[in-house]
Amino acid sequence: MSKYIHSVFSATIIIGMILLPLSGCKKFLDKKSDNTLAIPHKLEDLQALMDNYGTINSRDILSGEVSADDYYLTENDWMAMPNQGDRRMYTWTSDYLFDYAFNDWSNGFSLVYYANTVLEKIGDIKRGKDNAAVWDNVKGQALFIKAKAYLQLAAVFCLAYDSSSSGADLGLPLRNTTDFNEQSVRAPLRETYNEITTDLQAAASLLPEQPLHAMRASKAAAHGLLARTYLWMRKYNEALKYADSCLKIKNGILDYSSLSASKTYPLPPFNSEVIYSSMAPPPRPLSIVKAKIVNELYSAYGSNDVRKQLFFRPNPDGSVGFRGSYNGNPALFCGPATDEMLLIHAECSARNEDLITAGKDIDELLKKRITGYTGSQFTDKKQALQFILTERRKELLMRGLRWMDVKRLNKEGANITLQRTIGAAKYSLPPNDPRFALPVPEDIIAISGMQQNPR
Protein backbone atom coordinates (compact mmCIF):
# COMPACT_ATOMS: atom_id res chain seq x y z
CA MET A 1 0.00 0.00 0.00
CA SER A 2 2.98 2.34 0.59
CA LYS A 3 3.78 2.18 -3.14
CA TYR A 4 0.20 3.17 -3.85
CA ILE A 5 0.38 6.19 -1.52
CA HIS A 6 3.69 7.22 -3.07
CA SER A 7 2.15 7.10 -6.54
CA VAL A 8 -0.66 9.41 -5.42
CA PHE A 9 1.85 12.03 -4.31
CA SER A 10 3.86 11.57 -7.51
CA ALA A 11 0.74 12.17 -9.54
CA THR A 12 0.46 15.72 -8.25
CA ILE A 13 3.81 16.64 -9.81
CA ILE A 14 3.22 14.80 -13.08
CA ILE A 15 -0.26 16.19 -13.59
CA GLY A 16 1.02 19.68 -13.00
CA MET A 17 3.54 19.16 -15.79
CA ILE A 18 1.06 17.61 -18.20
CA LEU A 19 -2.26 19.28 -17.68
CA LEU A 20 -1.66 22.72 -16.17
CA PRO A 21 -2.10 24.33 -19.61
CA LEU A 22 -5.66 22.95 -19.73
CA SER A 23 -6.76 25.44 -17.09
CA GLY A 24 -5.92 28.23 -19.50
CA CYS A 25 -7.41 26.69 -22.61
CA LYS A 26 -9.60 29.02 -24.59
CA LYS A 27 -11.74 26.00 -25.29
CA PHE A 28 -11.00 22.50 -24.11
CA LEU A 29 -11.42 20.63 -27.37
CA ASP A 30 -9.71 23.16 -29.62
CA LYS A 31 -6.65 24.55 -27.82
CA LYS A 32 -3.35 23.62 -29.49
CA SER A 33 -1.04 21.53 -27.33
CA ASP A 34 2.35 22.76 -26.14
CA ASN A 35 5.09 20.53 -27.51
CA THR A 36 7.38 21.55 -24.64
CA LEU A 37 5.24 19.77 -22.03
CA ALA A 38 7.03 17.19 -19.92
CA ILE A 39 5.32 13.85 -20.63
CA PRO A 40 5.86 10.70 -18.53
CA HIS A 41 7.56 7.74 -20.17
CA LYS A 42 7.52 5.10 -17.41
CA LEU A 43 4.72 2.79 -16.34
CA GLU A 44 4.92 4.08 -12.76
CA ASP A 45 4.52 7.64 -14.04
CA LEU A 46 1.48 6.69 -16.09
CA GLN A 47 0.02 4.93 -13.05
CA ALA A 48 0.69 8.00 -10.93
CA LEU A 49 -1.17 10.11 -13.47
CA MET A 50 -4.27 7.94 -12.98
CA ASP A 51 -3.88 7.86 -9.19
CA ASN A 52 -4.82 11.53 -8.93
CA TYR A 53 -8.04 10.86 -7.03
CA GLY A 54 -8.98 14.54 -6.94
CA THR A 55 -9.33 14.55 -10.71
CA ILE A 56 -9.78 11.00 -11.97
CA ASN A 57 -12.26 9.88 -9.31
CA SER A 58 -13.81 13.17 -8.18
CA ARG A 59 -15.22 14.90 -11.25
CA ASP A 60 -18.27 12.86 -12.14
CA ILE A 61 -21.00 14.48 -14.18
CA LEU A 62 -24.09 15.45 -12.19
CA SER A 63 -26.07 17.76 -14.47
CA GLY A 64 -28.44 14.86 -15.07
CA GLU A 65 -29.05 14.52 -11.35
CA VAL A 66 -29.71 18.27 -11.13
CA SER A 67 -32.26 17.83 -13.93
CA ALA A 68 -33.93 14.73 -12.45
CA ASP A 69 -37.01 14.45 -10.27
CA ASP A 70 -35.90 13.04 -6.90
CA TYR A 71 -35.67 16.46 -5.22
CA TYR A 72 -37.12 19.96 -5.32
CA LEU A 73 -36.03 23.49 -4.43
CA THR A 74 -38.11 26.02 -2.56
CA GLU A 75 -38.83 29.26 -4.39
CA ASN A 76 -36.50 31.15 -2.04
CA ASP A 77 -33.62 28.70 -2.56
CA TRP A 78 -34.15 28.74 -6.32
CA MET A 79 -34.19 32.55 -6.40
CA ALA A 80 -31.08 32.68 -4.21
CA MET A 81 -29.02 30.57 -6.62
CA PRO A 82 -26.09 32.83 -7.57
CA ASN A 83 -25.71 31.24 -10.99
CA GLN A 84 -28.38 31.76 -13.62
CA GLY A 85 -27.40 28.49 -15.30
CA ASP A 86 -28.38 26.53 -12.18
CA ARG A 87 -31.83 28.13 -12.20
CA ARG A 88 -32.24 27.46 -15.90
CA MET A 89 -31.14 23.83 -15.58
CA TYR A 90 -33.59 23.23 -12.74
CA THR A 91 -36.51 24.41 -14.91
CA TRP A 92 -35.36 22.54 -18.04
CA THR A 93 -34.66 25.71 -20.01
CA SER A 94 -33.36 24.93 -23.50
CA ASP A 95 -30.03 26.76 -23.44
CA TYR A 96 -27.28 28.55 -21.48
CA LEU A 97 -27.10 26.10 -18.61
CA PHE A 98 -23.34 25.92 -18.04
CA ASP A 99 -20.57 28.12 -16.70
CA TYR A 100 -17.91 29.21 -19.15
CA ALA A 101 -14.96 26.74 -19.44
CA PHE A 102 -15.41 24.74 -16.23
CA ASN A 103 -18.48 22.54 -16.48
CA ASP A 104 -19.54 18.93 -16.95
CA TRP A 105 -18.52 18.94 -20.61
CA SER A 106 -14.97 20.08 -19.86
CA ASN A 107 -14.73 17.79 -16.82
CA GLY A 108 -15.70 14.79 -18.92
CA PHE A 109 -13.32 15.56 -21.75
CA SER A 110 -10.46 16.35 -19.39
CA LEU A 111 -10.72 12.70 -18.26
CA VAL A 112 -10.69 11.61 -21.91
CA TYR A 113 -7.50 13.63 -22.33
CA TYR A 114 -5.87 11.98 -19.29
CA ALA A 115 -6.77 8.56 -20.64
CA ASN A 116 -5.55 9.33 -24.15
CA THR A 117 -2.25 10.59 -22.72
CA VAL A 118 -1.71 7.23 -21.02
CA LEU A 119 -2.83 5.23 -24.06
CA GLU A 120 -0.49 7.13 -26.35
CA LYS A 121 2.55 6.91 -24.07
CA ILE A 122 2.11 3.27 -23.12
CA GLY A 123 2.50 2.43 -26.79
CA ASP A 124 6.09 3.63 -26.47
CA ILE A 125 6.80 1.22 -23.60
CA LYS A 126 7.64 -2.32 -24.60
CA ARG A 127 5.48 -4.98 -22.97
CA GLY A 128 7.61 -7.88 -21.81
CA LYS A 129 7.60 -10.81 -19.43
CA ASP A 130 8.80 -8.71 -16.50
CA ASN A 131 6.26 -5.90 -16.83
CA ALA A 132 3.29 -7.57 -18.53
CA ALA A 133 0.92 -7.49 -15.54
CA VAL A 134 1.64 -3.84 -14.75
CA TRP A 135 1.52 -2.84 -18.43
CA ASP A 136 -1.86 -4.51 -18.88
CA ASN A 137 -3.22 -2.99 -15.67
CA VAL A 138 -2.19 0.55 -16.66
CA LYS A 139 -3.68 0.27 -20.14
CA GLY A 140 -6.86 -1.28 -18.76
CA GLN A 141 -7.30 1.56 -16.28
CA ALA A 142 -6.90 4.16 -19.03
CA LEU A 143 -9.51 2.44 -21.21
CA PHE A 144 -11.87 2.25 -18.24
CA ILE A 145 -11.45 5.94 -17.37
CA LYS A 146 -12.11 6.96 -20.96
CA ALA A 147 -15.21 4.77 -21.25
CA LYS A 148 -16.56 6.01 -17.93
CA ALA A 149 -16.21 9.62 -19.05
CA TYR A 150 -17.93 8.95 -22.38
CA LEU A 151 -20.77 7.08 -20.67
CA GLN A 152 -21.46 9.93 -18.25
CA LEU A 153 -21.22 12.51 -21.04
CA ALA A 154 -23.63 10.53 -23.22
CA ALA A 155 -26.11 10.24 -20.35
CA VAL A 156 -26.33 14.01 -20.07
CA PHE A 157 -25.64 15.40 -23.55
CA CYS A 158 -27.32 12.75 -25.72
CA LEU A 159 -30.82 11.39 -26.07
CA ALA A 160 -31.75 7.97 -24.70
CA TYR A 161 -30.34 5.13 -26.76
CA ASP A 162 -32.84 3.73 -29.25
CA SER A 163 -31.56 1.05 -31.61
CA SER A 164 -33.97 2.22 -34.31
CA SER A 165 -32.60 5.78 -34.39
CA SER A 166 -29.11 5.52 -32.86
CA GLY A 167 -27.47 5.62 -36.28
CA ALA A 168 -28.82 9.14 -36.80
CA ASP A 169 -29.06 10.50 -33.23
CA LEU A 170 -26.24 12.78 -32.16
CA GLY A 171 -23.52 11.20 -30.03
CA LEU A 172 -20.23 12.64 -28.79
CA PRO A 173 -17.05 13.81 -30.47
CA LEU A 174 -14.87 10.74 -29.98
CA ARG A 175 -11.33 11.81 -29.18
CA ASN A 176 -8.68 9.15 -29.70
CA THR A 177 -5.59 11.35 -29.50
CA THR A 178 -4.29 14.25 -27.40
CA ASP A 179 -4.02 16.45 -30.49
CA PHE A 180 -6.09 19.58 -29.89
CA ASN A 181 -5.90 20.34 -33.62
CA GLU A 182 -8.17 17.38 -34.33
CA GLN A 183 -11.52 18.71 -35.48
CA SER A 184 -14.46 18.09 -33.16
CA VAL A 185 -17.24 16.24 -34.97
CA ARG A 186 -20.09 14.48 -33.20
CA ALA A 187 -20.29 10.78 -33.97
CA PRO A 188 -23.67 9.03 -34.18
CA LEU A 189 -24.99 7.78 -30.86
CA ARG A 190 -24.59 4.15 -31.98
CA GLU A 191 -20.90 4.72 -32.63
CA THR A 192 -20.53 6.47 -29.28
CA TYR A 193 -21.97 3.53 -27.35
CA ASN A 194 -19.96 1.07 -29.47
CA GLU A 195 -16.82 2.95 -28.41
CA ILE A 196 -17.84 2.73 -24.75
CA THR A 197 -18.59 -0.99 -24.81
CA THR A 198 -15.49 -1.81 -26.87
CA ASP A 199 -13.21 0.08 -24.47
CA LEU A 200 -14.82 -1.51 -21.41
CA GLN A 201 -14.54 -5.01 -22.87
CA ALA A 202 -10.88 -4.37 -23.68
CA ALA A 203 -10.34 -2.99 -20.17
CA ALA A 204 -11.96 -6.06 -18.62
CA SER A 205 -9.57 -8.33 -20.51
CA LEU A 206 -6.56 -6.45 -19.12
CA LEU A 207 -7.49 -5.55 -15.54
CA PRO A 208 -7.10 -7.72 -12.42
CA GLU A 209 -10.27 -9.04 -10.80
CA GLN A 210 -9.64 -7.03 -7.65
CA PRO A 211 -7.82 -3.67 -7.55
CA LEU A 212 -5.15 -2.60 -5.10
CA HIS A 213 -7.69 -0.04 -3.90
CA ALA A 214 -11.25 0.90 -4.89
CA MET A 215 -9.83 4.13 -6.35
CA ARG A 216 -8.48 2.02 -9.21
CA ALA A 217 -10.39 0.19 -11.91
CA SER A 218 -10.67 -3.59 -11.96
CA LYS A 219 -12.27 -6.36 -14.00
CA ALA A 220 -15.28 -6.19 -11.67
CA ALA A 221 -15.57 -2.43 -12.26
CA ALA A 222 -15.39 -2.84 -16.04
CA HIS A 223 -18.09 -5.52 -15.92
CA GLY A 224 -20.15 -3.27 -13.67
CA LEU A 225 -19.99 -0.35 -16.09
CA LEU A 226 -20.79 -2.69 -18.98
CA ALA A 227 -23.90 -3.81 -17.10
CA ARG A 228 -24.89 -0.16 -16.58
CA THR A 229 -24.16 0.71 -20.21
CA TYR A 230 -26.21 -2.15 -21.65
CA LEU A 231 -29.05 -1.37 -19.24
CA TRP A 232 -29.11 2.21 -20.57
CA MET A 233 -29.05 0.81 -24.12
CA ARG A 234 -32.02 -1.41 -23.15
CA LYS A 235 -30.02 -4.47 -24.16
CA TYR A 236 -31.17 -6.41 -21.15
CA ASN A 237 -29.60 -9.80 -21.91
CA GLU A 238 -26.16 -8.21 -22.13
CA ALA A 239 -26.79 -6.16 -18.99
CA LEU A 240 -27.77 -9.35 -17.15
CA LYS A 241 -24.64 -11.12 -18.36
CA TYR A 242 -22.26 -8.43 -17.15
CA ALA A 243 -24.05 -7.82 -13.85
CA ASP A 244 -23.72 -11.56 -13.22
CA SER A 245 -20.01 -11.51 -14.16
CA CYS A 246 -19.44 -8.57 -11.83
CA LEU A 247 -21.25 -10.20 -8.92
CA LYS A 248 -19.22 -13.39 -9.34
CA ILE A 249 -16.14 -11.32 -8.50
CA LYS A 250 -17.57 -8.96 -5.88
CA ASN A 251 -20.92 -9.49 -4.19
CA GLY A 252 -20.80 -8.16 -0.63
CA ILE A 253 -23.91 -6.34 0.65
CA LEU A 254 -23.77 -4.07 3.71
CA ASP A 255 -26.07 -4.86 6.60
CA TYR A 256 -27.55 -1.41 7.10
CA SER A 257 -28.85 -2.33 10.54
CA SER A 258 -25.23 -2.42 11.74
CA LEU A 259 -24.68 1.27 10.86
CA SER A 260 -25.26 4.24 13.15
CA ALA A 261 -27.90 6.75 12.10
CA SER A 262 -26.48 9.24 14.62
CA LYS A 263 -23.51 10.01 12.39
CA THR A 264 -23.73 13.02 10.10
CA TYR A 265 -22.95 10.76 7.13
CA PRO A 266 -23.71 7.16 8.18
CA LEU A 267 -22.50 5.29 5.08
CA PRO A 268 -18.74 4.60 5.26
CA PRO A 269 -16.48 5.37 2.26
CA PHE A 270 -14.81 2.48 0.43
CA ASN A 271 -17.29 0.11 2.03
CA SER A 272 -17.76 -3.52 1.02
CA GLU A 273 -20.28 -2.67 -1.71
CA VAL A 274 -18.04 -0.18 -3.55
CA ILE A 275 -16.63 -1.68 -6.73
CA TYR A 276 -15.05 1.52 -8.00
CA SER A 277 -14.92 4.79 -6.06
CA SER A 278 -16.14 7.63 -8.24
CA MET A 279 -17.87 10.83 -7.11
CA ALA A 280 -18.30 14.58 -7.43
CA PRO A 281 -19.04 17.46 -5.05
CA PRO A 282 -22.76 18.21 -5.21
CA PRO A 283 -23.67 21.03 -7.59
CA ARG A 284 -25.31 24.00 -5.89
CA PRO A 285 -28.92 22.83 -6.43
CA LEU A 286 -28.11 19.44 -4.86
CA SER A 287 -26.51 20.71 -1.65
CA ILE A 288 -27.91 19.02 1.45
CA VAL A 289 -29.25 22.33 2.80
CA LYS A 290 -31.16 23.17 -0.40
CA ALA A 291 -32.25 19.95 -2.14
CA LYS A 292 -35.41 18.56 -0.53
CA ILE A 293 -36.38 14.98 -1.35
CA VAL A 294 -39.79 14.81 -3.02
CA ASN A 295 -42.46 13.47 -0.68
CA GLU A 296 -43.58 10.83 -3.20
CA LEU A 297 -40.17 9.19 -2.90
CA TYR A 298 -39.58 9.71 0.82
CA SER A 299 -42.97 8.26 1.73
CA ALA A 300 -42.14 5.10 -0.27
CA TYR A 301 -39.71 4.03 2.50
CA GLY A 302 -41.58 2.08 5.17
CA SER A 303 -41.10 2.74 8.88
CA ASN A 304 -39.02 -0.44 9.20
CA ASP A 305 -36.79 0.49 6.26
CA VAL A 306 -33.37 1.31 7.72
CA ARG A 307 -32.60 3.47 4.68
CA LYS A 308 -35.16 5.99 5.91
CA GLN A 309 -32.97 6.71 8.94
CA LEU A 310 -29.59 6.45 7.19
CA PHE A 311 -30.27 8.29 3.94
CA PHE A 312 -32.06 11.40 5.16
CA ARG A 313 -31.66 14.35 7.48
CA PRO A 314 -34.77 16.17 8.73
CA ASN A 315 -35.06 19.89 8.03
CA PRO A 316 -36.77 22.43 10.31
CA ASP A 317 -39.59 22.88 7.78
CA GLY A 318 -40.49 19.18 7.88
CA SER A 319 -38.74 18.29 4.62
CA VAL A 320 -35.70 16.01 4.39
CA GLY A 321 -32.30 16.31 2.75
CA PHE A 322 -30.15 13.44 1.43
CA ARG A 323 -27.07 12.35 3.40
CA GLY A 324 -26.67 8.74 2.25
CA SER A 325 -23.68 9.01 -0.06
CA TYR A 326 -21.24 6.10 -0.15
CA ASN A 327 -18.42 8.62 0.25
CA GLY A 328 -19.14 9.25 3.92
CA ASN A 329 -19.31 12.98 3.19
CA PRO A 330 -21.43 15.46 1.14
CA ALA A 331 -19.91 14.34 -2.18
CA LEU A 332 -22.27 12.23 -4.29
CA PHE A 333 -21.12 8.69 -5.09
CA CYS A 334 -21.61 7.62 -8.72
CA GLY A 335 -19.45 4.53 -9.10
CA PRO A 336 -20.65 0.97 -9.63
CA ALA A 337 -21.52 -0.91 -6.45
CA THR A 338 -22.89 -4.33 -5.68
CA ASP A 339 -26.36 -3.07 -4.76
CA GLU A 340 -26.68 -1.55 -8.24
CA MET A 341 -25.53 -4.81 -9.81
CA LEU A 342 -28.12 -6.81 -7.86
CA LEU A 343 -30.84 -4.43 -9.01
CA ILE A 344 -29.72 -4.66 -12.65
CA HIS A 345 -29.64 -8.44 -12.34
CA ALA A 346 -33.11 -8.46 -10.81
CA GLU A 347 -34.62 -6.12 -13.41
CA CYS A 348 -33.17 -7.98 -16.37
CA SER A 349 -34.22 -11.33 -14.92
CA ALA A 350 -37.75 -10.03 -14.50
CA ARG A 351 -37.78 -8.75 -18.08
CA ASN A 352 -36.85 -12.31 -19.11
CA GLU A 353 -39.74 -13.56 -16.93
CA ASP A 354 -37.32 -15.33 -14.61
CA LEU A 355 -39.25 -14.28 -11.52
CA ILE A 356 -37.50 -16.74 -9.22
CA THR A 357 -34.06 -15.21 -9.87
CA ALA A 358 -35.46 -11.70 -9.72
CA GLY A 359 -37.00 -12.49 -6.34
CA LYS A 360 -33.77 -13.96 -4.99
CA ASP A 361 -31.84 -10.84 -6.04
CA ILE A 362 -34.30 -8.49 -4.39
CA ASP A 363 -34.48 -10.61 -1.24
CA GLU A 364 -30.68 -10.62 -0.94
CA LEU A 365 -30.69 -6.83 -0.98
CA LEU A 366 -33.75 -6.01 1.10
CA LYS A 367 -33.00 -8.39 3.94
CA LYS A 368 -30.03 -6.07 4.61
CA ARG A 369 -32.18 -2.94 4.32
CA ILE A 370 -35.54 -3.64 5.96
CA THR A 371 -36.01 -4.87 9.52
CA GLY A 372 -38.17 -7.99 9.58
CA TYR A 373 -38.18 -8.36 5.80
CA THR A 374 -39.99 -11.59 4.88
CA GLY A 375 -39.27 -11.89 1.17
CA SER A 376 -40.81 -10.97 -2.17
CA GLN A 377 -43.72 -12.68 -3.87
CA PHE A 378 -43.64 -11.90 -7.58
CA THR A 379 -46.68 -13.18 -9.44
CA ASP A 380 -46.06 -11.75 -12.92
CA LYS A 381 -43.55 -9.74 -14.93
CA LYS A 382 -45.38 -6.43 -14.65
CA GLN A 383 -45.73 -6.62 -10.88
CA ALA A 384 -42.09 -7.69 -10.48
CA LEU A 385 -40.78 -4.85 -12.63
CA GLN A 386 -42.87 -2.27 -10.82
CA PHE A 387 -41.52 -3.46 -7.46
CA ILE A 388 -37.90 -3.70 -8.66
CA LEU A 389 -37.90 -0.28 -10.33
CA THR A 390 -39.32 1.30 -7.19
CA GLU A 391 -36.57 -0.31 -5.13
CA ARG A 392 -34.00 0.81 -7.69
CA ARG A 393 -35.07 4.41 -7.28
CA LYS A 394 -35.06 4.14 -3.47
CA GLU A 395 -31.71 2.33 -3.22
CA LEU A 396 -29.73 4.29 -5.83
CA LEU A 397 -30.89 7.76 -4.85
CA MET A 398 -28.49 10.58 -5.79
CA ARG A 399 -26.03 8.26 -7.60
CA GLY A 400 -26.22 10.06 -10.96
CA LEU A 401 -28.53 7.38 -12.39
CA ARG A 402 -32.10 8.69 -12.20
CA TRP A 403 -31.90 10.98 -15.27
CA MET A 404 -30.97 8.09 -17.54
CA ASP A 405 -33.51 5.83 -15.86
CA VAL A 406 -36.30 8.28 -16.73
CA LYS A 407 -35.01 8.55 -20.30
CA ARG A 408 -34.71 4.80 -20.91
CA LEU A 409 -37.96 3.93 -19.13
CA ASN A 410 -39.85 6.46 -21.23
CA LYS A 411 -38.51 4.60 -24.26
CA GLU A 412 -40.15 1.53 -22.70
CA GLY A 413 -43.47 3.40 -22.51
CA ALA A 414 -43.35 4.48 -18.84
CA ASN A 415 -44.74 7.91 -19.80
CA ILE A 416 -42.90 9.78 -17.01
CA THR A 417 -43.44 13.54 -17.18
CA LEU A 418 -41.20 15.62 -14.92
CA GLN A 419 -42.86 18.60 -13.24
CA ARG A 420 -41.69 21.48 -11.06
CA THR A 421 -43.26 24.56 -9.51
CA ILE A 422 -41.60 27.88 -8.68
CA GLY A 423 -44.10 30.25 -7.13
CA ALA A 424 -47.01 30.53 -9.55
CA ALA A 425 -44.95 29.19 -12.46
CA LYS A 426 -45.18 25.55 -13.46
CA TYR A 427 -42.61 23.73 -15.58
CA SER A 428 -42.80 20.31 -17.22
CA LEU A 429 -40.64 17.99 -19.27
CA PRO A 430 -42.74 15.45 -21.21
CA PRO A 431 -41.47 11.98 -22.20
CA ASN A 432 -38.80 11.87 -24.93
CA ASP A 433 -38.60 15.67 -25.13
CA PRO A 434 -35.44 16.89 -26.95
CA ARG A 435 -34.44 18.71 -23.75
CA PHE A 436 -33.59 15.34 -22.21
CA ALA A 437 -30.30 15.90 -24.06
CA LEU A 438 -28.83 18.94 -22.34
CA PRO A 439 -27.27 21.54 -24.64
CA VAL A 440 -23.55 21.37 -25.31
CA PRO A 441 -22.09 24.56 -23.78
CA GLU A 442 -22.64 27.36 -26.27
CA ASP A 443 -19.03 28.52 -26.23
CA ILE A 444 -17.91 25.04 -27.28
CA ILE A 445 -20.37 25.09 -30.19
CA ALA A 446 -19.19 28.55 -31.25
CA ILE A 447 -15.52 27.68 -31.41
CA SER A 448 -15.75 24.10 -32.67
CA GLY A 449 -18.64 24.36 -35.13
CA MET A 450 -20.14 21.13 -33.75
CA GLN A 451 -23.84 20.54 -34.15
CA GLN A 452 -25.94 21.58 -31.17
CA ASN A 453 -28.61 19.33 -29.74
CA PRO A 454 -32.03 20.08 -31.27
CA ARG A 455 -34.34 22.00 -28.95
Displacement of CA 191 from its chain's centroid (Å)? 20
The residues, any chain, with a CB within 8 Å of residue 117's CB and separated by 6 or more, are: 18, 39, 49, 178
User: Does residue 128 belong to any structural domain of this protein?
Assistant: yes
User: Does residue 8 belong to any structural domain of this protein?
Assistant: no
Write down the pLDDT at residue 39. 64
Domain that holds residue 229: 14-257+334-448
**H helices present in 367-401, as ranges:** 381-395
Q: Where is 195: in which H helix or E strand?
A: helix 189-206
Pair 226, 204: CB distance under 8 Å: yes
CA angle 198, 203, 205 (to 5 degrees): 100
CATH number of the domain bearing residue 408: 1.25.40.390
User: Does residue 235 belong to any structural domain of this protein?
Assistant: yes
User: Does residue 384 belong to any structural domain of this protein?
Assistant: yes
Residue type, 9: F
Pair 354, 388: CB distance under 8 Å: no
Orientation of helix 189-206 relative to helix 132-157, angle to 10°:
150
What's the whole-model pTM score? 0.91
Alpha carbons 268 and 275: distance in angstroms, whole number:
14
Question: Minimal CA–CA distance to 27: which of 440, 452, 399, 451?
Answer: 440
Pair 439, 79: CB distance under 8 Å: no
User: Does residue 275 belong to any structural domain of this protein?
Assistant: no
pLDDT by residue for the chain (455 residues), tens only, comes to 433 333 333 333 334 434 433 333 334 334 333 433 456 779 999 999 999 999 999 999 999 999 999 999 999 999 999 999 999 999 999 999 998 878 999 999 999 999 999 999 999 999 999 999 999 999 999 999 999 999 999 999 999 999 999 999 999 999 999 998 889 999 999 999 999 999 999 999 999 999 999 999 999 999 999 999 999 999 999 999 999 999 999 999 999 999 999 999 999 999 999 999 999 999 999 999 999 999 999 999 999 999 999 999 999 999 999 999 999 999 999 999 999 999 999 999 999 999 999 999 999 999 999 999 999 999 999 999 999 999 999 999 999 999 999 999 999 999 999 999 999 999 999 999 999 999 999 999 999 999 999 99
Residue type, 135: W
Question: Minimal CA–CA distance to 197: which of 154, 261, 151?
Answer: 151
User: Does residue 250 belong to any structural domain of this protein?
Assistant: yes
Number of folded domains in the chain? 1
User: Does residue 308 belong to any structural domain of this protein?
Assistant: no
Cα-trace Rg, the chain: 21
Phi, psi dihedrals of residue 453, rounded to the nearest 5°: -65, 135
Pair 453, 439: CB distance under 8 Å: yes
- Rounded to a whole number of angstroms, the distance between the first and last alpha carbons of the chain is 50
Give exposure, 223-244, as e/b (b: 16+ Cβ within 10 Å).
Answer: bbbbbbbbbbbbbbebbbbbbb
User: Does residue 5 belong to any structural domain of this protein?
Assistant: no
Alpha carbons 372 and 99: distance in angstroms, whole number:
48
Alpha carbons 124 and 361: distance in angstroms, whole number:
45
